[in-house]
Structure 1
Amino acid sequence: MTGLWALLAAVLVATVAGLTLRHRDGRFRPARTRRPDDAPAVAEARDAERAPAGGPSQAASDGADDAPWTAGPAAGSLAAELSALGQPGGERATLLQFSTAFCGPCRTTRVVLADVARIVPGVAHIEVDAEAHLGLVRRLGIRRTPTVLVLDGDAREVSRASGAPPSRAAVIAALGPAATPDGDAR
């Protein structure tokens, strides 16, 4: 009888987890923000992670930012990273897609985002191979593919979606003011 209860509990937990993931897939969520009082803890954790064994921290010399979702220096470093990839962002917004070679939904996402970038002026679509850019993937907290980041004109994250491909209407809605036809709403 105990085995039956354990089986039922496992099925219930798996069902709730599956329904939660299904609900979140392909939906844009606002960018996370970091509280100012977290800065020292985030910087210390980052420095400890990057420091070579037995050596000093290199955080001061590598120009890395505190957290990928902060405004200010993080936005500049993401813009520099995109420029280093040889793909400048859009004037008003950038749809930054992280994909992998084995990801089936990534192909559908690529088509949807390219279509939106084609019809919305000032919006660019950039696709990044997650396997080839693991450092960037870690800094931005990308957990699975496809993940789409909506960046504003200053390369700051506005929102993100991961999992199933988002619909074209959801992408346009996530662009928000950048998707308005007059071009002055940013």
Structure 2
Amino acid sequence: MRYLITGGSGSGKSAYAEEIASSLGLPVYYLATMQAYGEEGKKRVKRHRLLRSGRNFHTIEKSLTVSEVTVPKESVVLLECLSNLLANEMFDPKGIGADGLVNGVLRQVELLSEKTTHLIVVSNDIGFDGNSYDEGTSLYIKALGELHTRLAEGFEHVVEVVCGISLNHKGPRSVNEVMSK
């Protein structure tokens, strides 16, 4: 099964995704994509590591070309998060760059999905504030929206988390229903 879990910053989407991952009864490989820039970035990475400690997650830190990771077929991969991966692939000199970005990242997610029993992709909802942005940021926001749309078409579960409340747009209506599958 494949899950796309979106939400705003601090919405509870990561905790929800971790709960789903833990409930599936298989080893969980936590694929962390954030590149820690500056003190704030380092603090966020440290906070996420602390939140995962003691949860029996196997953490893999990979900010680019996530399809290269090796995981057992009988496993859960929790990709945290798509929006970081997209930014890394777009702006990092070693990344895909703007040309072919959406298809390139989509292909990485597809290849990753083929390696595992369950794939959970966490991503940020951005671009709803009505502000105008520079060209690079606008291209990023548009690419993220397209990725969400294309993944949602093929994934069995699509969930938006708002204020810690899950809003299921596709698939079971509650975490208990997901866990009973």
Q: TM range, normalised to the smaller chain?
A: under 0.3
Give 1 or 2: higher helix fraction. Answer: 1
**Structure 1-normalised TM-score?**
0.26
TM-score, normalised relative to structure 2: 0.27
Higher RCO, 1 vs 2 (CA within 8 Å, ≥6 residues apart): 2
